[in-house]
Structure 1
Amino acid sequence: MLLFKTDLHKYKAYSGNKSTLVLMLTTQGLWALFVYRYSNKIYRSALPSFFKKPLLRLAVLWQKWIEIVAGISIPYSVSIGHSFYIGHFGNIIINSKAIIGDNCNISQGVTIGISGKEEKRGVPILGNNVYIGANAVLAGRIVVGDNVVIGANSLVNKNVESNVTVLGVPAKKISDNSSSGYI
């Protein structure tokens, strides 16, 4: 659960160093991350399948409960780096095959999902230090570089180079400002 400790450390820093107990009782994003990290650890473990499969079935039930209560869907097979932060709870959907780098922040209403046809069909890969604003949608086989800001209500369906800010539908580069200061 080393990765969860990095998530918790980030939540503490953002909250003015509230206690772990207060954060665990009051922060839905942290609930979802705890369940995800626990379930992902089982998924990636070398446990024998007769033991692993029942544990994963329980993990799916636990994840569904979190999805109903908090509105955050993070399947156990997603790959998420350290220090992940969910700014607000609600309406967050991450595809089971998505890859999210280290030290990323997402806001409420974000969808990271599958889209496209034939060879363009797939899910996003996000680099490190990516900030995603409220209600943004990232869809298709795209790569989002490091240190990127994705503005609120944007639709990202094409690759995004590193160290830029994108905004709009479809999202376009609006500046060379990186995510420094957002994360």
Structure 2
Amino acid sequence: MSRVIEYIRSDLHRYEGGSSASALLRHLALNWCFRYSFWLRLCGAESGLVRLIAKVMHRHLSIKYGIHIPSSTRIGYGLYIGHAVGLVVNHTARIGNNCNLSQFTTIGSNHEHAAVIGDNVYIGPGACIVEDVVIGSNATIGAGSVVISDVEEGATAAGNPARVVSMNAPGRYVANRWPALMPKSVNPQHVPI
């Protein structure tokens, strides 16, 4: 349970810049995005009863908000969901620490090998990340981009298909970063837990 609590604290830190009990209650009551990630994280609890309740709440909120992130998806510390609507992530995706997922984003795969996303990555609204691409740490994916090939570390990619448009200001939209507890970058063999 301590690992699940650490994930919840890291997610709260991304919204609040801290992780106090009052912030937790405020965000659970008022912040749909944090509420979704809270129940998503609790699906990994060791206690059978807590996990059961979490899975019921996660399913309810998935339907209510139109978000589909399976509880089996490997996501690092500090998940930030920009808006609680229209987000689809394939269960085989691997998402690093301090990542921002925006509304109407799809991280998908038809072949059970979705993307590997590094640490401190911002994914803009309406982005579509297709199949087994690797997005390096500190990358920015522009709004409406269709990513069909790897994006190198620190790059800003945009367009359809996405192309690198800049190497300036890596990770610029990722605020309130949780101190990463895993390696700085993700490669196809590295699996965030």
TM class, shorter-chain normalised? 0.7 to 0.9
- The question of whether the paired residues in 1 share the 8 Å contact of 2:42 and 2:50 is answered with no
2:131 to 125, 140, 154: 140
Please list every run of 5 or more consecutive structure 1 residues that lacks an aligned counterpart in the other structure: none
Q: Under a length normalisation based on structure 2, what TM-score does the superposition of the two structures give? A: 0.79
1:41 equivalenced with 2:41 (yes/no): no
| Aligned-pair identity (%) | 34
Larger RCO (CA within 8 A; separation ≥ 6): 2
Residue correspondence of structure 1 range 22-171 to structure 2 within 5 A: 22-42=26-46, 59-115=54-110, 122-171=113-162
Matched residue count: 167
1:64 is displaced (CA, Å) by 1.7
How many angstroms apart in 2 are the aligned matches of 1:12 and 1:157? 33
Which residue identity lines up with residue 113 of structure 2 in the other structure? Answer: G
1:28 is displaced (CA, Å) by 1.2
Structure (1 or 2) with the greater helix fraction: 1
Cα RMSD for the two superposed structures: 2.2
Deviations 1:133-171 (A, max 9, x none): 001011101111110000000011111111100001110
Shift in alpha-carbon separation, 1:133–1:64, aligned structure 2, 3 A: same
How many angstroms apart in 2 are the aligned matches of 1:6 and 1:13? 9
Q: Is the radius of gyration larger for structure 1 or structure 2?
A: 1
Please list every run of 5 or more consecutive structure 2 residues that lacks an aligned counterpart in the other structure: 175-193
2:8 to 4, 18, 34: 4
1:60 is displaced (CA, Å) by 3.9
